[in-house]
Structure 1
Amino acid sequence: MVLPFFGKKPGPGSSNKASDNSLGETTTSLEFTHAGSIGRSLAAAADKIQVVEVSVEDVAAIEEAAVLYANANESGAKAVLEEALEGGNKRSDRLWRMLFDLYRLSGDRASFESRGVVFAQLFEKSPPIWDEATPVAAARAVPKDAAPAVNLSGNLSGNARPQFEQLARIGAKTGKLRIELSRLKGIDETGATLLSDTIDALRRAKVTVGLLGARQALSLLEPHIKVGEPGGRAFWLCALAMLQQLGEQEHFEDMAINFAITFEESPPSWDPPEILQPPVEVAPAAPVPEQTPPTGFVMDGIIGGPQPEILRKLAVYASEHDAVEINASGLKRLEFVSAGSLFNQFATFRTQGKLTVIRHPNEMVAALMRVMGIDQVAEIEYKKF
């Protein structure tokens, strides 16, 4: 489940619904299934949520930049923010914050300083001061034209619909999208419908879609396919999409014939698969030297995937404290799956009567937290600008 962001609070009975401004790549591995508990925690937290006013014009750029950065596409995120500031949003405080932090994170001091001159002229005040934030990508940079990547894991069900709607929006903006399926453990019928419908919608919108790990997804779908038994139509359609991606035309045509026999309707036609190269890998960020021991629960470096060990340690920390204080000053990047897992954990803390405060995340991470609704179940303490 992903919740509205930028100060929008869920209304009564809407705690399990997502706005169109939501984003994610989460499946039920993130346990977005406890709508009742999360709803109660949000209601309890409603009077503590800080409203952040952001213009409608800024929202699309903020979302897209947060998505690209979470997928290690720093150059793409920079381009989105720079274009937005050069357009009609020159005085957007949030966009400036994100861009300056992104320059720091990528080690782009020249751009930081040149933008600082523009900032000073525009606002008639001093720009932010450069500090030596550790660059996130210590190895090769991700190409500017790289396709955004979405990693699915766990059990795919209809609970992931809000995330897929946002996924489709991002694909429509970028024109290409990679979906990683190799970590899926299960797919139910509503999940299969969601996946196949999303793939169809993206391709109708002329978005180039690459499915990585299609073999794993196919192995989860095939046990549900029974020739002559007119049930589980979604499993059939999703399996045919996987076969197309794998380029197995003969197997596809055999299944298509069985589909026609079983459902007495024309099957999808064969279409050669679209190939997208996997992303360039980046090295993990080097640790930031600490002058003094940090306070609170420290999150630093790059956090990606479900991160069960971090969640376990966080739960232990929470059990020993009345309030959960998270030091995120050294957190360089947060990926979607991890953000979803953290949302669930923070929502659980709310139901336990514990306040969670996330201190000083960089603006790119903070933007993703707002997109994923984390600011609805935890307080975010921003750095001074």
Structure 2
Amino acid sequence: MGLFGLFGKKDAQNPPGDKQAPRPRSPASPPPDTEQQRQRNHRATDTARKIDAIESEMSSEFVPTHLLTGNSQAAPEPGQPGNALPDLANSTDMLLGADLRGAGLEVNASQAAPVLEEAAILFANEQDAVAEQMLRMAIADNANSADGGAEAWLMLFDLYQATARQTDFEHLSIDYARRFETSPPAWRKTAAVAAGGRTLPSVAFAGKLDAGIIKLVERVQKIADEHQALRLEFGRVTEVAPVGCGLLLRLLKKLQNHDVSITGANDLAARIRAIIEIGRRDETEAPWLLLLEILRLQNREHEFEETSIDYCITFEVSPPPFVAPVHRSGAQPGEPESAASGSAFLMPAVVDNRTEQLLAAIDGHALLHDPLVLDCSRLDRVDFSAAGQLMMGLAPLARSGKTIEMHDVSRLIVALFSMIGLADIARIVPRRH
């Protein structure tokens, strides 16, 4: 008899009078039709419906705020960013003082055109389609100008690079070469490097794993459409919630035929274990099933089977079978990655609005290095509010006399940093295309 042959479905009852539990640590099962059970089933249905509602919005550019927060009030219109975005640029003097302004921005113009600034804000808020439209309009409007709207071209290249749209990047390259009669920017392979020397497109999850990860889930799916192998980073996840577990579980199930390499899996598994308990039936099985999937992707069969037994005891259902993961790329799941590269601090692919751990790591690196060099070669996107938090976190270092440099910065992020005043405390070096 197989390992799980002893565990039947929920409708498989023990013979009358047989009081032996599957394992000594299993608590007694509650009566089937108690009010507590009915409430639990209702919560489980609500959780599943919430996950379905969030996923149904993934074809949109971003998920409406009321789905993420439960607030019935509609999100503000994209054309009204002032309602939600703080006036960070005006706070620079207060943060730094006049004596620290003017660190410099190594670009042709320190202030981008208003339309380019607005495109940068839209991109920071993951409204990629609108940002792309504005950049294309800027290119068309400046077709006969002295520089041909070159900055808009470069920002559009960076948008396609950040969103893993290599086909669109190559089509733009043809138009660029025809317009400027020079070589176009090259597609950059800035993602994580696998053991075999191949590069893997990478997406980093951070902060709380909840409904807010839907934007990252959509980004992973877009990458998976063009790449068979990819990498997911969970080292900066600090907390998990059932809805987030359900969304990530569905994503991983859709990637069953992909070569998925993961880092920070041990930390993620620990976060999941912290919210589950053997014998306690929560509103959804998603955290348990996600934990099993993480163990499967790490090829940890023994721990998978042990956890499967606990899952059986808790929910009285058969667990999913163990299927060895696909690893054609040669990457090692769970392989740690250092944030520091030589004397430079390697910035993550995405900086969201939970910057505490990132700023703490930068502060630690700054204690040992002067100047403080932030390598932004793989930094694709900075959330608008996170840009302000980053500036406020770096301001004390600047006030203490530390020289701060940011190298290889995307043109979209350069425009954002310039607008909020970060260029006043750090030397920002754009990417050389």
Report which of the two structures shows the higher radius of gyration computed on alpha carbons. 2
Scaled by the length of structure 1, the TM-score of the pair is 0.50
Scaled by the length of structure 2, the TM-score of the pair is 0.45
